[in-house]
Amino acid sequence: MSLIWRQIQLQHFLGKARRFLSREGNSFAEDLERENGVLKKAAQNLGASVIEHGLGLLEFVLGEQRTFIRANATELDSAIALKIAGDKWQTSQMLCAAGLPVPHQAVFPGDALDKARDYFKQRKRPQVIKPRNGTSGGAGITVGLTSLAGLARAFYLARLHAGQVILEDYVAGRHLRVLMLEGQLLSAVERVPASVCGDGKSTIAALIRRENRQRKETKQFPKLWPIPVDNDLHLALHRQGLSLRSIPPEGRLVPVKAMANGHQGGSVVEVSEEVHPELATLAARAAAIIGVKFAGVDLIVASPGAAPGEDRVYINEVNTTPSLYGHYQAVNQEALRDPALALLKRLLGVPQ
């Protein structure tokens, strides 16, 4: 067992212990509370009653109709559809076979770092390193790796979450999460990586601590998830010639994460009205190919308003049990849609 692997394991478990003791970070219970919160509010607006059965399981009742939801899992999707979508390699291969645009990938066993190194050198382009499954919230993912020196750490970080590791060509662009329900677009948001604004006095570490403290203490809805200090953050700073000890000048906006994900401290902008209809059609096809009815399809685009034929578009992932709360975090609240209400209407047989 390599020294790097042992270090990664130790850092991972120490980090989990530190977050537990400090009550910081993104715990499953906190996520569940936020997701269930928007569902319960939607039920209230719909006139449906809610029965809480514990462990996050909600039962919604409207007249003679009832449905269950836990962690955004619904009766709509089968166990096999959830299984397929959870396997990022399998999903990508199925989409590729159907002629849909996906980034080039290769998959390696968790003990095949040497083979991954050879592939990395042959590919000669930035890579995304991620677990074959278990990537919820950006777990175990390293984005835009350009240095062979950092591959071992990224590989072992992914290995913490799955037995196999994917190397995927990094694609630059804007990241959209398109929420689909049986082929219909409920909401589309652009996901923006986390950043902090310099004040000319504070280190980046201090700015992140301040931002996370404000996010934790705010009473306003919606709350943003904290910015985690992890491998992705260190690499994002390193690419800019910065570190946590750097003091950015006043007014300078410093991107501190490469991952565009709410659970990684990012923000979102509601862009449903801007999304080209053909992008929504592409997302619907992707979900249908793997048999998913309620899906969060991640697209990488040049512009939300451009058709796939006008600019390069890639399907990054198709996610089951997608976050609803993440769509309510939009900075442009005036453009907010209500996907939780639309989902409950479908499940309880209420015309849209």
H-helix or E-strand spanning residue 236: helix 231-239
Q: What is the pLDDT along the chain (352 residues), one digit of tens a residue?
A: 566 656 655 555 545 544 444 444 457 788 899 999 999 999 999 999 999 999 999 999 999 999 999 999 999 999 999 999 999 999 999 999 999 999 999 999 999 999 999 999 999 999 999 999 987 778 899 999 998 989 999 999 999 999 999 999 999 999 999 999 999 999 999 999 999 999 999 999 999 999 999 999 988 888 899 999 988 999 999 999 999 999 999 999 999 999 998 989 999 999 999 999 999 999 999 999 999 999 999 999 999 999 887 778 999 999 999 999 999 999 999 999 999 999 999 999 999 8
Closest CA to 196 of 183, 206, 181, 184: 206
- CA 286, distance to chain mean position in Å, is 17
315 vs 52: CA distance, rounded Å: 36
Query: Which tokens is 103 given?
Result: 């980034």
Contact by Cβ (8 Å): 161, 131: yes
Tell me if the pTM is above 0.85. yes
Q: Which residues contact 33 (CB under 8 A, 6 or more apart)?
A: none
Contact by Cβ (8 Å): 327, 189: yes
Q: What amino acid is encoded at 173 in this protein? A: G
| Confidence (pLDDT) at 15 | 54
The structural domains of the chain, ordered by start, are 104-170 (3.30.1490.20), 197-257 (no CATH)
54 vs 33: CA distance, rounded Å: 11
Query: Which tokens is 24 given?
Result: 């910081």
| Confidence (pLDDT) at 17 | 44
| Confidence (pLDDT) at 20 | 43
| Confidence (pLDDT) at 23 | 44
Closest CA to 348 of 61, 38, 59: 61
Contact by Cβ (8 Å): 188, 272: yes
- CA 264, distance to chain mean position in Å, is 8
**Where does 68-150 have alpha helices with state H?**
79-86, 88-97, 113-123
Contact by Cβ (8 Å): 271, 293: no
59 vs 53: CA distance, rounded Å: 7
| Confidence (pLDDT) at 19 | 47
Query: Which tokens is 66 given?
Result: 């009832």
